[in-house]
Amino acid sequence: MSEGIVTSPAGQSPPTGGGARRPGMVLAIVLTLQTMLILDVNVVNIALPDLKGALDFTPTGLSWVLSSYLLAFGGLLLLGGRTGDVIGHRRGMFIGVTVFTLASLLGGLASSAAMLLIARALQGVGAAFAAPTVLALIATHFTDDKSRARALGMYAAVSGSGAAIGLIGGGLLTDLLSWRWVLFINVPIGIVLLIAAPMFIRETERKPARFDLGGALTSTVGMTALVYGFIRASESGWSDSLTLASFGLAVVLLALFIFIETHAKQPITPLRLFADRNRATGYLSLLFVMAAGNAMFFFLTQFLQEVRGFTPIQAGLAFVPLAVLILAASSIAAKVLPKAGPRVLTAVGAAAISVGLIWFAQITPEADYASALLGPMLVAGLGMGTLLVGVTTILMSGVAPEESGAASGLLNVMQQIGGALGLAIMVTVFGVASRGAQDDVPAGLDAKGSADFVLTEGVTTAFAWGAGFTALTILLTLIMRSVPMGGGETETDPEETASPAQEAPTP
């Protein structure tokens, strides 16, 4: 859920020395890279219960296995994209893949929770530099319409199917080998990429630019402090000195980030993109949805394995219907988009996700997969696929060509940061609800039954809060303006009938 589609600025310069020498190999290399990055979060998700026992993670501390990756990835993603423009996208890919591969090896060898979290953060750094090069290399190596359309179609298929492949792969690796192999698996893939890339991919032209290191560091460290504050609060309370210090540091750093971005000549996050009402509410909507979606995967994985006793393979297969519905719904939504409009799709998708999460919030420790879990999975998957098409259209509509890279990069940042921040909030809710449930355990339950009751109470409370986040998205669609659609058609809006707003064609 947390891995989005990373797009690159329009109008990339052609590769140095001409087009692709062997386009089939170029495509295979970039799609392999995209697959590795897409799979990472979902592969690790399934292994979380095993990780928890092997490295003595607390239930709330376990969320850092995902958050450390997402924060580094999201916080440095725009800097990674800028780096590729400056030093060349093949070099950017080489640096990113090298860091990601070494970090995966370190994580697989981890002997402590701290060592694993450091490795996960380094994986995020590598991903932030590698991910923006995927579409940039497609754009520069496939210059005619037919070959580029084919390459982009295969890219979309890989990105869309990554969730299901990651969940199944994570289950197989954890069950048949060990949790360490969800990290080790990246090492041979990375080595192949590092060997093949110089052989078949030509370097792209370098573009002089400034590196906004201040913006990248203050945003990344500031968000990390904010996430840590929430997770610390779930374990030690809101009055804890370290909790308060974390929130204080987050406020200072994020305020400094805004100051830097408003004064930088080439800011890593162009704040002018938030001046548009639609785009501002769209980014906020995406953040809310990613918050709920990441938490849903995180808590369902633990519920299925720790309460219902699923093996990692069974848990991975259990999520496949949800992943398939996301794919199917996004395909259908793309077809009805011109008639329904992106606001309607966003609102309908958010409503479906809310229904799914409220449904999940009713589960009990005895919940059967077919009768109690499959239904809300299908509804939530339908909503996610529908909403993502709508909100992506809203965010990219009316963007000037020279800002398309920044807008699409920021879209992906919101996905990663939203997932990390939302998971931190949900983990806080889970921790408070779980502690409260310890005093309400029904009489007569054994130790396993009591633990299942407490975990289920925490999980269902988190699901209810997730439904609240997606409900806020529905409200946000009410204040959006109409969005221009292809062929000059627009959504109707009573406010704009009286006073038309300035509109630009959808890129």
Question: Quick one: pLDDT at residue 490?
Answer: 45
Q: DSSP character for 274? A: G
Give the CA angle between residues 331, 333, 337 to the nearest 5°.
125
According to the per-residue pLDDT averaged within each range, which of 16-25, 56-65, 263-272, 359-368 is highest?
A: 359-368
List C-alpha distances in Å: 29 to 97, 140, 150, 196, 329: 12, 14, 15, 7, 28
3-state helix/strand/coil string of 86-115 = HHCHHHHHHHHHHHHHHHHHHHHCCCCHHH
Q: How far apart are CA 88 and CA 148, in angstroms?
A: 20
Q: Count of alpha carbons within 13 Å of 21, Cβ hemisphere only?
A: 10
Question: Quick one: pLDDT at residue 160?
Answer: 59
Question: Quick one: pLDDT at residue 331?
Answer: 79
In the numeric block, the tokens 């970039």 are attached to 30
According to the per-residue pLDDT averaged within each range, which of 36-50, 201-215, 385-399 is highest?
A: 36-50
pLDDT band for position 159 (cuts 50, 70, 90): low
Question: Quick one: pLDDT at residue 461?
Answer: 92
Q: How many CB atoms lie within 10 A of CB 127?
A: 31
Q: How far apart are CA 171 and CA 155, in angstroms?
A: 24
Query: What is the distance in angstroms between the CA of the first residue and the CA of the last residue of the chain?
Result: 25
For 366, residues 6+ apart whose C-beta sits below 8 A from its C-beta are none
In one-letter notation, the amino acid at residue 399 is V
pLDDT band for position 272 (cuts 50, 70, 90): confident
> Which of 99-108, 144-153, 401-410, 498-507 shows the lowest per-residue confidence on average (mean pLDDT)?
498-507
Q: Give CA torsion, residues 120, 124, 127, 132, to 10 deg.
A: 170
For the stretch 355-381, pLDDT in tens is: 999 999 999 888 888 888 999 999 998
| pLDDT above 90 (res 12) | no
Question: Quick one: pLDDT at residue 108?
Answer: 92
Which has more pLDDT, 246 or 205?
246
Q: Is the pTM of this model over 0.95?
A: no
Q: DSSP character for 370? A: I
Q: At what angle do helices 145-176 and 23-54 cross, to 10 degrees?
A: 30
Question: Quick one: pLDDT at residue 25?
Answer: 84
Ramachandran region, residue 57 (left: φ > 0; alpha: ψ -120 to 50; beta: rest): beta
% of the chain residues with pLDDT over 70? 82
Question: Quick one: pLDDT at residue 499?
Answer: 35
In the numeric block, the tokens 């975990």 are attached to 455
User: Average pLDDT of the chain?
Assistant: 79
Which has more pLDDT, 435 or 110?
110
pLDDT band for position 190 (cuts 50, 70, 90): very high
Which has more pLDDT, 42 or 182?
182
| pLDDT above 80 (res 144) | no
Question: Quick one: pLDDT at residue 505?
Answer: 32
For the stretch 446-496, pLDDT in tens is: 888 888 898 898 889 999 999 998 888 888 888 776 655 543 344 544 344
Q: What are the strands, taking DSSP E only, across 269-393?
A: none
Question: Quick one: pLDDT at residue 107?
Answer: 92
Question: Quick one: pLDDT at residue 194?
Answer: 92
Give which of 433, 493, 491 is closest to 462, Cα–Cα: 433
* Across 253-273, average pLDDT: 81
Q: Alpha helix locations (H) across 177-276?
A: 181-184, 186-200, 213-236, 241-263
* Across 293-307, average pLDDT: 86
Q: How many CB atoms lie within 10 A of CB 26?
A: 24
pLDDT band for position 1 (cuts 50, 70, 90): low
Q: How far apart are CA 189 and CA 40, in angstroms?
A: 12
| pLDDT above 60 (res 19) | no
For the stretch 83-123, pLDDT in tens is: 877 788 888 889 999 999 999 999 999 999 889 999 999 99
- Three-class SS of residue 6? coil
Which has more pLDDT, 132 or 369?
369
Give the CA angle between residues 231, 38, 348 to the nearest 5°.
75
* Across 208-214, average pLDDT: 73
- Three-class SS of residue 490? strand
In the numeric block, the tokens 């794919």 are attached to 327
Judge whether 273 and 454 are in contact, CB under 8 Å. no
In one-letter notation, the amino acid at residue 3 is E
- Three-class SS of residue 493? coil
